[in-house]
C-alpha cells in the first residue's frame, strides 16, 4: 500500500490543522496511527482517517501540558500498538505574551508555554525512545520559521509579543541536534529532524486574525497542511537526521538537496539555516567529558 506498511505512527495535537494532515498522510502510506489532543474532536478525526484509509487509527484524550497525561498516552500507545516507528511531535500552543504582563501573569504564561511546547516533547521522547531504538524509527519535531534566519538580510522573525512561543521553539533545536547526535553516537539508527514552516493555513494561524477570518488575498499566499504533510513523508523517506527543514510561502515546499559531504544545501534565498548532521559517521562524536 505504501512505504509505511506495517509501521505505527504517533501524532500529537491531531484534532485539526497540521496534526490532522500529518496523521492522514501517515495512514495513507500504510501506517496504523495513534493520535492525541486535548480537544474531543480528535475522536472524529481518527474515525474519518480510519474510514478513508482502511488503517487502524486510535484517538486518545491527552493534555500534553500534564506530565502524567503524556506518560499515560505513551503507555497506552505501546500497549495498544506494540511499539512505534514514527513520532510526530506536533502539539503546541501559540499566543501573545506582551512585555507588560504582571509578574503573576508572566509566571503563569511561562509555565503554560514551557509545559506544553517543551516539556511534553522531552517526556514523550523519553517514553518512546526504547521502542524507536528497537524498531529504528523517526522523530519529527514540528517547529516554526520564527527560529530561522530572516528571508531578507536585516529582517527579523517572530514578533514583539511572541517571546515565550519563540523561546519554546528555540529549545526544540537543542532537542533535535542532541538527540540526533546521541542516537548516532550510540550506534542506534533513530533519525531526528524538525520541520520549521512559515505561514500555513491552520486554525492556529487563522486565530491571529479578528474573528479567525483573515482576508482571502492573505490566505492565498499561505502554504497548506497538505503540502506540509507531503514534506513530512518526503523527509521520512529521505533518511537524514539532525536537520531542521524549512519551507516558505512562495517557494517550493520540498526537501533541500544534500552536498557530496552529506550536509544539506539550502534551496532557499540567502543561504539559510540548514545545518544538519546527515551523512556523518557516529565515530566522529565522543561522549562529553
The CATH number given to whatever domain includes residue 135 is 3.40.50.720
Split at pLDDT 50, 70, 90, the class of 71 is very high
pTM of the model: 0.87
- The reply to whether 257 falls in a domain is yes
For CA atoms 117, 97, 272, 219, the dihedral sign is positive
Number of domains making up the chain: 1
Split at pLDDT 50, 70, 90, the class of 200 is confident
pLDDT, position 258? 59
- The reply to whether 1 falls in a domain is no
- The reply to whether 120 falls in a domain is yes
Angle between helices 103-114 and 163-185 (to 10 degrees): 30
pLDDT, position 204? 77
- The reply to whether 211 falls in a domain is yes
- The reply to whether 206 falls in a domain is yes
Mean pLDDT of the chain: 85
pLDDT, position 99? 86
pLDDT at 219 over 80: no
Of residues 203 and 45, the one with the higher pLDDT is 45
pLDDT at 271 over 60: no
Residues labelled catalytic: 165
Question: Which single residue is written with the C-alpha cell 514534506?
Answer: 231
Averaged over 51-76, what is the pLDDT?
97
Amino acid at each position: 500500500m505504501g512505504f509505511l506498511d506495517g509501521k505505527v505512527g504517533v501524532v500529537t495535537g491531531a484534532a485539526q490543522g497540521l496534526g490532522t494532515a500529518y496523521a492522514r498522510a501517515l495512514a495513507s502510506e500504510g501506517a496504523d496511527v495513534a493520535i492525541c489532543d486535548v480537544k474531543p474532536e480528535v475522536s472524529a478525526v481518527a474515525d474519518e482517517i480510519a474510514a478513508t484509509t482502511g488503517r487502524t487509527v486510535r484517538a486518545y484524550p491527552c493534555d500534553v501540558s500534564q506530565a502524567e497525561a503524556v506518560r499515560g498516552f505513551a503507555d497506552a500507545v505501546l500497549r495498544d500498538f506494540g511499539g512505534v516507528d514514527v513520532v510526530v511531535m506536533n502539539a503546541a500552543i501559540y499566543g501573545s505574551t506582551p512585555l507588560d504582563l504582571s509578574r503573576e501573569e508572566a509566571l503563569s504564561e511561562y509555565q503554560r508555554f514551557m509545559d506544553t511546547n517543551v516539556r511534553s516533547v522531552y517526556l514523550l521522547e523519553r517514553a518512546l525512545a526504547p521502542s524507536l531504538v528497537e524498531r529504528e524509527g523517526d522523530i519529527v519535531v514540528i517547529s516554526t520559521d520564527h527560529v530561522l534566519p530572516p528571508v531578507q538580510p536585516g529582517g527579523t522573525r517572530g514578533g514583539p509579543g511572541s517571546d515565550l512561543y519563540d523561546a519554546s521553539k528555540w529549545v526544540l533545536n537543542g532537542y533535535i541536534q542532541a538527540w540526533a547526535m546521541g542516537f548516532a553516537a550510540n550506534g542506534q539508527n533513530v533519525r531526528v529532524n524538525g520541520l520549521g514552516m512559515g505561514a500555513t493555513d491552520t486554525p492556529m494561524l487563522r486565530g491571529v486574525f479578528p474573528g479567525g477570518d483573515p482576508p482571502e488575498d492573505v490566505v492565498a499566499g499561505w502554504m497548506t497542511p497538505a503540502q506540509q504533510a507531503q514534506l513530512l513523508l518526503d523527509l521520512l523517506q529521505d533518511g537524514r537526521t539532525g536537520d531542521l527543514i524549512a519551507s516558505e510561502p512562495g517557494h517550493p515546499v520540498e526537501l533541500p538537496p544534500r552536498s557530496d559531504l552529506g550536509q544539506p544545501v539550502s534551496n532557499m534565498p540567502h543561504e539559510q539555516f540548514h545545518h544538519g548532521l546527515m551523512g556523518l559517521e557516529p565515530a566522529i562524536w565522543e561522549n562529553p567529558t
